[in-house]
Amino acid sequence: MNAYDFDKTIYPADSATDFWLFVCRRHPRAAESLLRAAPAAARRLTGRLSRGELKAALYSCLALLDDPLAEARLFWDGHIHRIYPWYWRQKRPDDLIISASPEFLVGEACRRLNTAFIATDMDPHTGVIRGENCRGEEKVRRYRLAYGDAPVEAFYSDSLSDRPMMELAGTGYLVKKGRIARRLDFTKGEGDR
């Protein structure tokens, strides 16, 4: 099995940002609630708020939507074509996507890709994160919960914040702007350079 990060790895942008731009165009009330989340962003910048708490504050505007899951489906109707071609060329039936983005959003894309996924467990109606934000070491923990000791051949990501998953796989690939930019072999210590 190969495993992949999602945002800026197989999808060219941050899907959550693209989703919110889409929602705000369709529902101006949601845009107003995002402005109310600005103080949370300031607290995050000063270290007084965790990444997960900021994410929950930003997603609290989900409560204003009649059907957030329908919004996610509509979003992917117009955005699934943006999945990078390199991923389509190497996609395999046993691929796994592991993302810090919300499960309700990434999950809809992964169902269309017919790909297994693990993502941040967020209530799609309130924005409340259940458990931890699926990032860094949490990706490894969640992988182990779901797959035990099953091996990962390689992990693909746009960021070394995914180093724990790359180390688990032994081989990591850094992806930049839709191209595999660098291979890292953690079995030989190359990830330390």
- CATH number of the domain at 135, please: 3.40.50.1000
- Coil, strand or helix at 44: helix
Q: Which two tokens stand for residue 97?
A: 């996507």
pLDDT above 90: percentage of residues in the chain: 70
Which DSSP symbol is given to 158?
A: S
Split at pLDDT 50, 70, 90, the class of 175 is very high
Range of the domain at 132: 2-192
Split at pLDDT 50, 70, 90, the class of 11 is very high
pTM (2 decimals)? 0.90
Residue 58: per-residue pLDDT:
78
What are the tens digits of pLDDT across the range 38-74?
Answer: 787 778 788 887 777 777 777 887 888 899 999 999 9
pLDDT above 70: percentage of residues in the chain: 97
How many domains does the chain fold into?
Answer: 1
Residue 20: per-residue pLDDT:
85
The whole-angstrom distance between residue 35's C-alpha and the CA centroid of its chain comes to 23
Give the residue among 16, 28, 80 at the shortest CA–CA distance from 54: 16
